[in-house]
């Protein structure tokens, strides 16, 4: 399944009220949204029709989220859904997730694009291939080490995969508190040491299988009943995707 088709089905199932997109580019993914939306991209050049109330800011995510009220365009309420597809370098992707979680709720879905490079060349920090994920793949082990309480699900969409992150906590500061240590441990010069497990995609779920689970329904229910949402998500993942997702 192509990643935009999966993204479209996520929007249809979640019916988010407020959507964040970091990395708008041509607007193809933003065009899927049907709700209040905020887009951030210093060099967007939209050539797609948009279908919602969209606020697009020609700036970096660092600058945007340093503003006094980044949630002002959506009435001060947290985002229900966020698509992180900005600068394909590890340090930017990690900061984008930190910003996203800070402006989220327990029912928010965060989605990273380009998480599954097919070769070390595609994962290079210095781009030299047509298809390029950059070196954002270490987000997976970083979350496993520093945020084991969140649920991460790699999805094998075409061309280079996605990573769903569920069970967010806007009050958690572990990643920002340990940012320098994380950079020292997980950021590497080229050529990238992409783990074989990522290249082989042995842990990756098919998009069809993920969509068949009740995970998205649980997120929607959590908007009015957030108590125990992380436990409910983990139980559903373990039941429908396998024991590795029991947490």
- Domains of the chain by start residue, with CATH: 3-245 (3.40.50.150)
**Token digits for 225?**
């009943």
Q: Quote the percentage of the chain above a pLDDT of 90.
A: 97
Q: Are 94 and 139 in contact (CB under 8 A)?
A: yes
At residue 115, the pLDDT reads: 97
At residue 246, the pLDDT reads: 46
- The neighbour count for residue 87, using CB atoms within 10 Å, is 19
Residue 124: name the closest of 112, 113, 141, 137 by CA.
137
**Token digits for 116?**
């599954």
CA distance 179 to 75: 30
- What are the pLDDT digits (tens) for 102-141? 999 999 999 999 999 999 999 999 999 999 999 999 999 9
What are the beta bridge partners of residue 84? Answer: 22, 112
- What are the pLDDT digits (tens) for 187-210? 999 999 999 999 999 899 999 999
- What are the pLDDT digits (tens) for 48-75? 899 999 999 999 999 999 999 999 999 9
Q: Are 166 and 214 in contact (CB under 8 A)?
A: no
At residue 243 the predicted structure's pLDDT band, cuts being 50, 70 and 90, is confident
């Amino acid at each position: 399944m192509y990643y935009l088709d999966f993204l479209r089905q996520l929007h249809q199932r979640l019916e988010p009220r407020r959507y964040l997109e970091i990395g708008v580019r041509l607007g193809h993914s933003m065009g899927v949204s049907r709700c209040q939306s905020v887009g951030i991209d210093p060099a967007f050049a939209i050539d797609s029709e948009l279908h919602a109330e969209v606020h697009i800011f020609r700036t970096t995510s660092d600058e945007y989220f340093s503003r006094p009220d980044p949630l002002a365009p959506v009435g001060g309420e947290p985002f229900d859904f966020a698509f992180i597809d900005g600068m394909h370098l590890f340090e930017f992707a990690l900061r984008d997730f930190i910003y996203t979680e800070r402006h989220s709720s327990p029912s928010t879905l965060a989605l990273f694009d380009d998480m599954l490079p097919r070769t070390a060349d595609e994962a290079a920090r210095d781009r030299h291939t047509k298809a390029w994920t950059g070196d954002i793949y270490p987000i997976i082990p970083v979350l496993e080490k520093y945020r084991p309480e969140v649920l991460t699900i790699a999805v094998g969409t075409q061309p280079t995969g996605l990573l769903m992150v569920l069970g967010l906590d806007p009050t958690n500061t572990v990643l920002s508190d340990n940012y320098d240590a994380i950079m020292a441990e997980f950021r590497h010069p080229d050529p990238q040491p992409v783990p074989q497990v990522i290249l082989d995609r042995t842990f990756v779920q098919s998009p069809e299988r993920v969509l068949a689970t009740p995970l998205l329904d649980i997120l929607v229910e959590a908007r009015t009943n957030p108590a125990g949402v992380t436990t409910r998500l983990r139980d559903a993942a373990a039941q429908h995707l396998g024991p590795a997702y029991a947490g």
